[in-house]
Amino acid sequence: MISLLNKMTVEEKLGQLVQIAPFFFVRDLKNELYGPATELGLSLEQIFLTGSVLGIGSPEEMIEVQKRYLDNSRLKIPLLFMADIIHGYQTIFPIPLAMACSFNPELIKTMARISAVEAQTSGIHITFSPMADIVRDPRWGRVMESFGEDPYLNYVLSYYAVKGYQNDNITKEGSLGACAKHFAGYGLVESGREYNTVDISEYALRQYFLAGYQGAIDAGAVMMMTSFNLFEGIPATMNEKLLKEILRKEMEFKGVIISDYNGLKETMIHGISSSEKEAALNCMKAGLDIEMVSGNYILRLKEDFDSGKLPMSLLDEACLRVLNLKKEIGLFDNPFKGVSRDKHNEVVLSKKHLDEALKVAYESIVLLKNDKDVLPIIAKNKVYACGPNLHTNNLNGAWSWHGKSNSNETYHDVLKEKCNIVKNFEESDYIVYFGGEKFNESGEAKSKTNIDFPIEQLEEIIKLKEMSKPIILVINAGRPLVLTAIEKHVDSILYSWFLGTKNALAVVGTLIGDNNPSGKLAISFPRALGQVPVYYNHLPTGRPKNDYDNEYTTGYIDSENDPLYCFGFGLSYSKFEYDELIIKETTVEDDFTLKINVKNDSFMPGFETIQLYIKDTYAHVSRPVKELKSFQKIWFNSNEVKEVSFKITKEMFEYFDNKSKRKIDHGEFIVYVGSSSSNVKMVKINYVGKEK
């Protein structure tokens, strides 16, 4: 690539660092520039110097854009095509927050693999996924796009997502390069309001918020997107400490750094860069390689590089990173790599992909309540189905641009096939109410101040209750809703999020027992909005709630502290019993093993996710009351008992102190194992091994 770099002019190098939309290339070139092109300020010549494209609709469009570009470019460096393939291309999988509830990393990998195979047939090379931002605030619309509130779960799932997209080698056909996002801390926008300020201490950044991105990096993600927010008062997109010291040095990220949409220019609105030129300079110096959908690098920095005011090495480094990525993807050998209408028709929405989507959907559903084992519905019984979501096929959820809702069935379609449904509720044995949010109430720029289960649905259900029939509530939502008011009026709650193309079949299959629900919440469900943020791995306070003689303890006068449904919670049609923990020695020096017997005390076979948490009782800085460190999702036959063993490694005791140093201390650790973050067995360990 060096010899190619040596042939390039400054403008050509800068062009590689600019990403624009595909329509710029396929306009009638003889016409004057107009509309968005004028706003961008690029000349026709400059458009044909740019390096990558955001979003593409079809194989034909990609071929046309790439051809036009190559015909008009001196050095014929192929364009790189990037898009948001977040939870499927056209075979849509559950929203990421739902998939996280599967606690099944292999399923995330399957989703990513299938997304890559389908998307590549349209000539897409890079996906802007996974979103590794940890989220604690369900008001934020993008909570649906996250893997929830836990660092370890985020690490593991981001890792597997990247492995699935990249397939170990992005040169292979059918692999996508993964761009993890949004570095760093976007999930922490104040008040859950989209694009709002973020204020994180370095200690908290390392303690909680870097884990997901690190998972993506460790899996080999080739790209990282910066976030819209500030870090220590400076926009992430131009934050040298964040990009150079933390991302590159400390986290050892070697790939390309791209801004978010117009992020470079927004450093002006943040009140840091006073002009477009300064914005470009700030970002270039901070180590931002590609700017998304703005042309400031090529428009504003040419002179400074030409005159030597800026060192050429700065530009060369960034440009080389982009060229090397293009080479690794194989674009110099074949600029049309993977794009094919025939292959597209063969793989997109294929039976194999749809079957996998159903499996993932099945494992993403969370059963929150099931009084008197109302579910599953017995085949001969009659069902009265109602609610605002009964007839909708808009079940893909946000961030599914290429998915088509007309590929989806409605609940009503599937119920007709699989259940004995009746028109009058008087005749029915069960009422099944399909409610919750609509697909467009979550996603980017969809923050809410009210996350209560909708009041009009609540009132409707209270009326239905007069019929004295069991009420089963199926909730579609892109976020945790506050269910405190509705919860007591229904017998059973299936939280189905948005499950994608196979949503309706997955839910009905679960209602009738073809699937035994196994999802566990990847995020806490608040009792009331006033509790937000509420998350399980918080720090202890000096006045914990367990001293009942003293009113001056942490808490509310109108609510419990704990959430309505905690992290890791989820019921099953099976009943799992946990014995006490088995350990040889409680004084440990090194890695050790912990065992527990778990029994499926029912005739229903099913999965259980057994969760292991650790608390470091005393350390150099205050440590969370509990942290997930391991989990195993295990299949149990009816009445089966299994001995489950966990290896506890020293690394599980490690933490960052307030000087950002990794530490392991002697002393007491509590290990918890259980079916959720609050339902656990525990054992105390005295660690006497190596300190750090």
For the annotated catalytic residues, the residue numbers are 260
Query: Dihedral sign, CA of 151, 138, 680, 571?
Result: negative
CB 36 within 8 A of CB 309: no
| Shortest spacing between CB 145 and ligand BGC, in angstroms | 8
Q: Which is nearer to ligand BGC, 247 or 628 (CB)?
A: 247
For residue 629, the SS3 value is: strand
Pick from 84, 409, 441, 491 the residue near ligand BGC by CB under 6 A. 84
Q: Do the bridges between strand 606-616 and strand 627-636 make them parallel or antiparallel, or are there none, so unpaired?
A: antiparallel
What six digits make up the tokens of 226? 């910066």
Q: Quick one: 261 or 336, whose CB is closer to ligand BGC? A: 261
CB nearer to ligand BGC: give 25 or 228: 228
Q: What's the 3-state SS for 643-681?
A: EEEEEECHHHHCEECCCCCEECCCEEEEEEEECCCCCEE
Residue 260 in contact with ligand BGC, rule: CB under 6 A: yes
Least distance to ligand BGC, CB of residue 276, Å:
20
- The CB-nearest residue to ligand BGC is 128
Looking at the Cβ atoms of 226 and 572, the one nearer to ligand BGC is 226
Residue choice 181, 265, 326, 402 for contact with ligand BGC (CB under 6 A): 181
> Which residue from 21, 58, 72, 261 is in contact with ligand BGC, where contact means CB under 6 A?
261
* Count of Cβ atoms closer than 10 Å to residue 28 Cβ: 6
627 forms part of the interface with ligand BGC (CB under 6 A): no
Q: 110 to 129, contacts with ligand BGC by CB under 6 A?
A: 128
Backbone angles phi, psi at 2, to 5 degrees: -60, -40
Shortest distance, position 50 Cβ to ligand BGC, whole Å: 16
Cα 103 to Cα 267: distance, rounded to the nearest angstrom: 38
Minimum separation from the CB atom of position 297 to ligand BGC (A): 18
User: Minimum CB separation from ligand BGC for residue 290, in Å?
Assistant: 12
If one counts every other C-beta atom within 10 angstroms of the C-beta of residue 417, the result is 11
* Residue 140 vs 384, nearer CB to ligand BGC: 140
Closest CA to 46 of 12, 2, 83, 92: 12
481 residue type, one letter: L
Number of helices (H), then strands (E), belonging to the chain: the values are: 23, 26
* DSSP per-residue letters across 378-412: PTTSEEEEESTTTT----S-SS-TT--GGGSPPHH
Residues 519 and 568: their CA atoms lie apart, in Å, by 9
State the minimum distance, in angstroms, from the CB of residue 558 to ligand BGC: 36
Which 557-586 positions form the footprint of ligand BGC (CB under 6 A)?
Answer: none
State how far the Cα of 134 lies from the Cα of 147, in Å rounded to an integer. Answer: 7
Closest CB to ligand BGC among residues 236, 594:
236
Nearer to ligand BGC, 54 or 522 (CB): 54
Should residue 452 be labelled a site residue for ligand BGC when binding is judged by CB under 6 A?
no
CB 260 to ligand BGC: min, Å = 5
Q: How many residues bind ligand BGC (CB under 6 A)?
A: 7
β-strand partners of 671: 614, 683
Whichever of 245 and 444 has its CB closer to ligand BGC, that residue is: 444
Tell me whether residue 30 is exposed, middle or buried, using C-beta atoms within 10 angstroms of its C-beta: 0 to 12, 13 to 18, 19 or more.
exposed
**444 lines the binding site for ligand BGC (CB under 6 A):** yes
To the nearest whole angstrom, how small is the minimum distance from the Cβ of residue 301 to ligand BGC?
23
Q: Hey, is 215 helix, strand or coil?
A: helix
Give the C-alpha distances (Å, rounded to integers) separating 397 from 83, 102, 109, 231, 334.
17, 17, 20, 30, 35
x-or-dash string of contact with ligand BGC, 51-70, rule CB under 6 A: ---x----------------
* Cβ distance to ligand BGC smaller for residue 54 or 111: 54
Q: How far is the CB of 443 from ligand BGC (least distance, A)?
A: 10
Q: Which residue has the tokens 């295990």?
A: 634
362: closest CA among 473, 167, 496? 496
Q: Please give the C-alpha separations between residue 325 and each of 176, 248, 404, in angstroms, as whole numbers.
A: 12, 17, 31
CB of 630 to ligand BGC, least distance (A): 30
Nearer to ligand BGC, 24 or 646 (CB): 24
Is residue 163 a contact residue for ligand BGC (CB under 6 A)?
no
Site for ligand BGC in 308-337 (CB under 6 A): none
Report the alpha-carbon distance of residue 446 to residue 444 in Å, rounded: 5
DSSP code string of 430-493:
EEEEEEE--GGGSSTT---S--BSPHHHHHHHHHHHTT---EEEEEE-SSPPB-HHHHTT-SEE
Task: Point out which residues bind ligand BGC (CB under 6 A).
Answer: 54, 84, 128, 181, 260-261, 444
